[in-house]
Structure 1
């Protein structure tokens, strides 16, 4: 019985592997990783260049923390993460690094990104009820929707971890009515992304 169970499990894993190979999932992940490396390198290089040749980033971030309340910054970030990820999260991670309580504000940013993704998911669900908006967004997000239909939770994992706009992945998940409980579980990896990026960015600022 145990051998049969193991055989079935291996067969299922083999079939999944074949499916993801055939549909190009692995190529997509490798391509996303390559694309992810360049923005990170450029962001770090830009921070270094700005800090050395234009202005003192540390002073700038301190000025932001003194000018705006943490809740104002967090609110702007939440809105950004709910609406197609308009502002790079790395800027806010750098801000958290210069705040009075870095780990707390970093965790609140991660939570804001996660909840922003939830809002985006329900935007995706809601727009399916408005034909004109649905058609426009389905056209704009055609690639994300197609990939989400093919790869489901694995694409949400990639969207949560890599510099792909998480809001777009979440809206696409909502449009195809990806199971919400599963979305919530996969989306938790958004926290891991923020903590990992902070290891680099906190050292830079």
Structure 2
């Protein structure tokens, strides 16, 4: 049988498409960019712990002096508005709670819900011409890639140390399928549990 006459499978066609569009190169570049921040965070955490202030003592102070709902509220606000505070700080905080896994799960859920809010913020932004134009310029490449690769870019935003809120806003701006967004966004839980495995053993 002539190999050329063999019909390509859906998987082969997808592989061919992502190869031609440069998705694999983009993903590889994203992974390379993601690794240094992770290593820097771990190194910074160790340096602060040994030379500046004992992180265990700091986290215990926070848990003893601030109500849990305040910490959760600050985290939820951050995850809903551009992800300004690194989630790793809150993951480390959850390790000092009476039920670390429960608190970690709540953080993961709040991050997921914060992403949903960001998605609708993105949709709302498109209704403001001046803001929309500004963000289209600043986030042009990000939005272009989201249009091209859709769910895969959301997966990258959910798993890697890229502000998930930014990816969610971009998804909302291009009106990416909300149901698909919710499904891909569930990987946010995976990220929190994987990071917890490392962070819980550091602090």
Alpha-carbon separation, structure 2, partners of 1:140 and 1:81: 20
Which protein is richer in helix relative to its size? 1
1:37 to 32, 35, 49: 35
The Cα RMSD (Å) is 1.1
| Paired residues for 1:120-139 under 5 Å | 120-139=118-137
Shift of 1:36: 1.6
* 2:3 corresponds to: none
Verify the 8 A CA contact 1:141 1:168 in the aligned structure 2. no
Alpha-carbon separation, structure 2, partners of 1:185 and 1:79: 22
Q: Give the total of aligned pairs.
A: 198
Structure 1 gap ranges (5+): 1-6
Shift of 1:141: 1.5
1:63 to 61, 64, 81: 61
| Paired residues for 1:115-154 under 5 Å | 115-154=113-152
Verify the 8 A CA contact 1:50 1:57 in the aligned structure 2. yes
Shift of 1:11: 2.7
TM score, norm. by length of structure 2: 0.94
* 1:75 corresponds to: 73
Structure 2 gap ranges (5+): 1-5
* 1:3 corresponds to: none
Q: Which runs of 4+ in 1 moved over 6 A?
A: none
Q: 1:102-124 deviations in whole A, cap 9, x for unaligned? A: 11110011001100100000001
Q: 1:2-31 deviations in whole A, cap 9, x for unaligned? A: xxxxx76x5322221111112111111111
Shift of 1:193: 0.2
Q: 1:56-107 deviations in whole A, cap 9, x for unaligned? A: 1100000011111111111111111111110111111111111221111100
Alpha-carbon separation, structure 2, partners of 1:141 and 1:109: 27
TM score, norm. by length of structure 1: 0.93
Alignment of 1:171 with 2:169, yes or no, is yes
Alignment of 1:197 with 2:169, yes or no, is no
